[in-house]
Amino acid sequence: MVPTRYAALLGSGPLALPSLAGPCLAMTFRSLIPAELPPPFARYAHGVAVPEGQTLVRTSGQLALGTDGTVPDGAEAQAAIIFENIDAIVAAGGLTRADVCHISAFVTAREHMAGYMAARDAWLADVPDLPASTLIIVSGFTRPEFVVEIEVMAVGAASAS
């Protein structure tokens, strides 16, 4: 038997808070924010639903390496570069940040969470349908100066190339 609080996820369809999931003609996925759950902690959705027949772009984990080979100090600066790079990768697949349906982010310490979240929220500021999001604290990356890694999944109707 499915608990009542999960029925919306498994039953006739997801519920969404009107303030976070308004109508969008170009929407390629639906943000899932069931009324039975507490709202997300920040600017993300609990889950997403992807309709059949959409193009999928999945990035590898991206680290903050500038085009000149430098790595900026601080989580917010690193995340900002990473999100710029993700824009380019997603665009190469014919999609945009508005098509990102999931973000997985990794930081090396709790104190890097706020900087990452500030960059993420700025990147998503004009995105009408919020992606699902995961943030994990890890022990480190390939080089000690890296403090953030981000990977995304985007879905949508790709533009003709």
Q: What is the pLDDT of residues 52-111, one digit of tens each?
A: 788 888 899 999 988 888 999 999 999 999 999 999 999 998 899 999 999 999 999 999
Higher per-residue pLDDT: 36 or 110: 110
pLDDT above 50: residue 14: no
Please provide residue 105's backbone torsions phi and psi, each rounded to the nearest 5 degrees: -125, 150
Q: What gap in Å lies between CA 102 and CA 57, rounded to an integer?
A: 11
pLDDT above 60: residue 11: no
Give SS3 for 58.
strand
Q: What is the pLDDT of residues 113-154, one digit of tens each?
A: 999 999 999 999 999 989 999 999 999 999 999 999 999 999
Q: Beta strands 47-49 and 30-32: pairing type?
A: antiparallel
Kindly list the domain boundaries of the chain, sorted by start residue: 4-156
pLDDT above 60: residue 27: no
Residues 6+ apart with CB under 8 A from 66: 72, 81
pTM given for the model = 0.73
CB of 143 closer than 8 Å to CB of 71: yes
Strand pairing partners for 148? 107
Considering the domain 4-156, what is its CATH architecture?
2-Layer Sandwich (3.30)
pLDDT above 70: residue 24: no
